[in-house]
Amino acid sequence: MNALWTAYLFHIKEQIRTKGFRITSIVISILILGYFAYNHFSSNEEKVLVTVINTSKYYSLDDKLLKENIEGLQLHSEQIKNEEKEQQKIKDQDLDHLIVIKEQDSVPVVNYYYHRSPDPTVMFAFTTQLQQQYLSKVSTEHALSQEVVTELFQNIPVEETMLAENNGSLGIVYVFIFLMYTFIIMFGQGVAMSITGEKSTRVMEVMITKIKPIYMLFAKILSSLTAGLIQVSVFLLSGYLAYLIGWINKDLFSIFGFGLDLSQVNAGLIIGFIFFFACGYLVYALCFAALGSVISRTEDLGSVMGPVMVLVVGALMVGIKTMMDPTGGLVTFSTYFPFFSPIVAYSKFVMGEISTLELLISGAVLIISIGLLAYAASRIYVKGVMVYGEKFKWSQLTAMLKK
């Protein structure tokens, strides 16, 4: 175990010392700070450019009320003859929205032009005003009493109650999936590259006489995990720095549109996060380590790692599907499939869509799978590191497992 610890410390030091590690840490931290700074400083200045062409006789807009309802609204009125010109402005992205108000049998008709996606806030603000004016006009024409009009305008009260247990917001799921994916891509693959590098530089021949291969295997996997966690901590610290500076409004905090309610983070969520994150990393790192050991040149890594990369992308896709449909058939199967279950089971746990029994079974399957993978990977690794020069065939893996 002393040799494992020595190898672990050496590899972790070597990884942290590399220029790539330091540059990535600095650049991504700057990007995180930049992202929050941009959101902070640009949120008050974002303009919504709207041109209105109103050809109706009865309907007019209250500019003041519109500006109250649409943040950053800059309203511009145009004549009907310039409609095409205004549409071109939208295509050229010089204008955000064009609202054309016409009348048909005294009923207001609105044509709404936008570049690629409609803005419900803009649409709602305009149609609400027109709707009220139309109701007012109709009630006057039919000589309705003020009481009737008031009742007609009465809003229907809606009281929302979520019945599913929810352990946290989707933002936490999103952070988990994103971290898991990037971690496997960056550090899981790093394990394979490091092992193949040791073979191609022939340092493996020296090492194999000094330390048990199984210790080398786990020293590499665990040092990559630690280096990765250090890097993630640096990113979190830069996020915390942004929070301290005041660039993050914790009430409106979101990651790419997914709300992240930090007040919902509790011990269960943190323990689950650590457990499924570590298990997910181990599953893939063991596969990468085994495959990295059977080839002799780093150039061959791409072709060998292809099938595992398909699983990584599959896990990401199923993770996204879980956020939308946590009870679907594929998601249910994936809850117990060890290559997908870390992301799926944790996501379902956060969303309150998994029972305690299901969670325990998923965790148990995952732990047993890691044990089997560790056994297989160590067998392949011990044999694989001494194989040089031969072109890799998948059948070799079976032979190495059997020997």
Which residue lies nearer to other proteins by CB, 25 or 341? 25
Q: Indicate the residue among 9 and 360 with the shorter CB distance to other proteins.
A: 9
List of long-range contacts for 24-33, beta carbons under 8 Å, 24+ apart: 24/231, 25/231, 25/234, 25/235, 28/231, 28/235, 28/238, 29/234, 29/235, 29/237, 29/238, 30/238, 32/235, 32/238, 32/239, 32/242, 33/238, 33/241, 33/242, 33/247
How many residues make up the chain in this entry?
A: 403
206 touches other proteins by CB under 8 A: yes
Structure tokens at 80: 């009907």
For position 10 contacting other proteins by CB under 8 A, the verdict is: yes
Q: Of 145-153, 197-205, 262-270, 313-321, which segment contacts other proteins by CB under 8 A?
A: 197-205
Strand partners, 114: 97
Residue with smaller CB distance to other proteins, 26 or 206: 206
Piece in contact with other proteins (CB under 8 A), picked from 7-15, 33-41, 86-94, 292-300: 7-15
* Chain centre distance of CA 319: 9
Nearer residue to other proteins within complex by CB, 209 or 263 = 209
CB of 292 to other proteins, least distance (A): 16
In 3D space, the residue among 364, 352, 356, 322 whose CA is nearest the CA of residue 340 turns out to be 322
**Sole binder of other proteins in the list 18, 88, 249, 398 (CB under 8 A):** 18
- Using CA atoms, how far apart are residues 185 and 281, in angstroms rounded to an integer? 10
Q: Is 205 in the site for other proteins (CB under 8 A)?
A: yes
d(CA 303, CA 94): 47
Q: Pick the closer one to other proteins by CB: 269 or 401.
A: 401
Q: Does 22 bind other proteins (CB under 8 A)?
A: no
Q: Which of 3, 31, 245, 271 binds other proteins (CB under 8 A)?
A: 3
Give the tokens for residue 29: 């931290």
Q: Give the integer Cα–Cα distance in Å for 97 and 122.
A: 8
Of the pair 96, 198, the CB lying nearest other proteins is at: 198
Q: What does the alpha-carbon distance between residue 213 and residue 7 come to, in Å, rounded to a whole number?
A: 11
User: Crossing angle for the helix pair 189-200 and 267-294, nearest 10 degrees?
Assistant: 30
| One residue of 144, 193, 208, 323 binding other proteins per CB under 8 A | 208
Told to check if 13 binds other proteins by CB under 8 A, we report yes
* Binding segment (CB under 8 A) for other proteins, from list 89-97, 201-209, 246-254, 345-353: 201-209
DSSP one-letter string for 186-215: IIIHHHHHHHHHHHHTTHHHHHTTTS-HHH
> CB of 312 within 8 A of CB of 331?
no
CB of 386 to other proteins, least distance (A): 6
297 makes contact with other proteins (CB under 8 A): no
Do residues 181 and 349 touch, judged by C-beta distance below 8 A?
no
> Does residue 218 contact residue 226 with C-beta atoms inside 8 Å?
no
51: number of CA atoms within 13 Å, CB side? 20
Name the segment binding other proteins (CB under 8 A); options: 179-187, 196-204, 264-272, 287-295: 196-204
In this structure, how many other beta carbons lie within 10 angstroms of the beta carbon of residue 205?
13
Using the rule CB under 8 A, give the single segment among 2-10, 29-37, 81-89, 289-297 that binds other proteins: 2-10
Among 32, 73, 204, 315, interactor with other proteins by CB under 8 A: 204
Residue 379 CB, shortest distance to other proteins, in Å, is 14
Task: State which of residues 154, 209, 263, 395 lies at the interface with other proteins (CB under 8 A).
Answer: 209
**Region near other proteins per CB under 8 A, out of 6-14, 36-44, 156-164, 354-362:** 6-14
- Specify burial of residue 221 (Cβ count, 10 A radius: 0-12, 13-18, 19+): buried
Pairing of the two strands 48-54 and 73-77 = parallel
Query: In angstroms, what is the minimal distance from the CB of 6 to other proteins?
Result: 5
Subset of residues 369 to 398 that bind other proteins, contact rule: CB under 8 A: 386
* 7 lies in the binding site for other proteins (CB under 8 A): yes
CB of 195 to other proteins, least distance (A): 13
Check residue 80 for interaction with other proteins (CB under 8 A): no
Binding site for other proteins (CB under 8 A): 2-3, 6-7, 10, 13-14, 18, 198, 201-211, 386
